[in-house]
Amino acid sequence: MRDMPCNQVEVQQFLSKYQSAFTRRADGSSWPKWERTWRHATEYFQGLLRPGKGKSVVDIADQTGADQEQLERFVRESPWEHQNVESHLREEVPDEVQGPDAALIVDGMAIPKSGEKSVGVARQWCGATGKVDNCQVTVNCTLARAGEQHNSDQVTWPLGARLYLPKKWTGEDDSVYETNREREKYAHLSEEAGIPEEVSYQPKYEIAVDLIDQAMTAGPEHACVVGDTGFGKYPAFRKKLRARNEPYVLEVETSKFVVVPEETTVLEPGSTSGRGRPRKHPAYPEETDAETPEQIAARLEKQGGEKQDGWREVTWNEGTKGGLSGEFYRTPVRVVKDRSNRWLADETGWLLLKRPSGEEGEGELKAWICWGLDKASLEELASWGQLRWTVERFHQDTGRELGADKYQGRTWRGFHHHLSAVMLAHAFVAERRLEEGQDREDLASFAEVVRQIVRESAVQRLMENHGFDRAKAREVAVDMLREYSDW
């Protein structure tokens, strides 16, 4: 792969598109010494791209030569608004990330914590550790597009993120506190964290809807919304997306999601039930069998014969070890609202199943409900269902390379300031990846691009400050980076 020059001029050209986000309020007004704010924004941005695991304010100040106290104030209390940065990101989505095969992906990101004073921290499900643990959780919205040639060529663009606040942090429900002393403790923690008065408790799926609304307003082209069971299991979330005419491919729980065939006769409200009472809800006949994805998969297996049971092999992309494929099945369904009463929801769509892989059926059965995509092929539905893996890659890239999980402050403003700066750095690297690739083929990995950016910056500094020729500067730069970082 060829060298990818990235000098300070190019960094400034990228950041200049976002200058107003760091120097103007939403109403267009500014503040005294805004030039200092802009300088610290540049320092912080560059510090996130430096090699090594240290991404705290102390680390960044040390690496960039910035004043530590001023940099801490820039993150913790400076008047710039993280929402403005996110708004600019939504307006600057590259054409290569948009398209009829792209998807909005919503997901949660867990950040493990050891103490209890960081804003929003609580014992809750922590994806990073795979168990209930002490952590913060953010809800993120990204735009992703699968690679045309290879799975590794997928491209992702950050659109927004927000911290989820457990009920104890919002003080709206006294029943969540074991004692009055605990309620007072969280009231004090919330005040110290500077949580805005207008911020109230919201389930994660409602935060996701807010982020989707913001993305839809900006208008990047995409086919649907994709999410895991943490979002797909909520009927209210799916209903809100249908109200916005936003198609979706959402993973659902294979043992709890209940459906009937779409062609099932609907017993309308007002008609007489078997007990002689008028029905209050649409229902399905008693002779109709409602099934979960697990029950449908088991029925298909009993039918026997790979060609007769409806499963089809689908290859959705190329991986490092060959084609990425699996056996999928889809069927048109109507969602059951209440199995015990045979009540039906007004939700119809494709139920998509992915069979456990391997001769011994390794892995787990996967299921998605797909709405608003009646004309989509099985291959397209499978590709969107599998696209969510890009979120895991996004979490790894922002955490491992940019320090998304390294903020050590405790305030609401500081946390969101840090997260928006990380998203901005991610967008910069994403642009560099796209500039490196030819027609989105053979894209360098995110980590490779970060290292090339840093290496080229070091090469140019050695050439300018010490008079080295490029070959010598590159040799010294690589040696120093390997010696003093985790390269």
So what's the pLDDT on residue 53?
65
Contacts of 48 (CB under 8 A, 6+ apart): 55, 60, 402, 403, 421, 422, 425
Cα-atom radius of gyration of the chain, to the nearest Å? 25
Integer Cα distance of 389 and 423 in angstroms: 18
What does the DSSP 8-state code read for residue 30? -
So what's the pLDDT on residue 463?
81
So what's the pLDDT on residue 30?
92
Q: What secondary structure does DSSP assign to 362-380, as a single string? A: BS--EEEEEES-TT--HHH
Q: Are strands 131-145 and 312-319 parallel, antiparallel or unpaired?
A: unpaired
Residue 245 C-beta-side C-alpha neighbours within 13 Å? 0
So what's the pLDDT on residue 11?
79
So what's the pLDDT on residue 250?
98
So what's the pLDDT on residue 360?
47
DSSP H stretches of helix in 29-151 = 34-48, 57-64, 68-76, 82-91
Residues of the chain with pLDDT under 70: 1-9, 52-53, 148-152, 272-276, 304-309, 319-322, 358-362, 437-442, 483-487
Q: Determine phi and psi for 316, rounding to 5 degrees.
A: -100, -15
Residue whose pair of structure tokens reads 């069979």 in the numeric block: 355
Q: Rounded to two decimals, what is the model's pTM?
A: 0.90
Residue burial 210-222, b: 16+ Cβ < 10 Å; e: rest? ebbebbbebebeb
Integer Cα distance of 71 and 56 in angstroms: 11
CB atoms within 10 A of CB 172: 10
The pair of structure tokens assigned to 73 is: 């104030």
Output the CA–CA distances (angstroms, integers) from residue 482 to 118, 436, 466, 474, 475, in the order listed.
Answer: 34, 24, 20, 12, 11
Integer Cα distance of 407 and 410 in angstroms: 9
So what's the pLDDT on residue 5?
42
Helix (H, G, I), strand (E, B) or coil at 313: strand
So what's the pLDDT on residue 7?
55
Strand partners, 357: 362
Integer Cα distance of 436 and 442 in angstroms: 9
Residue burial 181-195, b: 16+ Cβ < 10 Å; e: rest? eebeebeebbeebeb
The pair of structure tokens assigned to 113 is: 């914590």
Integer Cα distance of 201 and 383 in angstroms: 34
So what's the pLDDT on residue 442?
65
Residue type, 181: R
The pLDDT tens digits for 166-188 are 999 999 999 999 999 999 999 99
Distance linking the first and last C-alpha atoms of the chain: 18
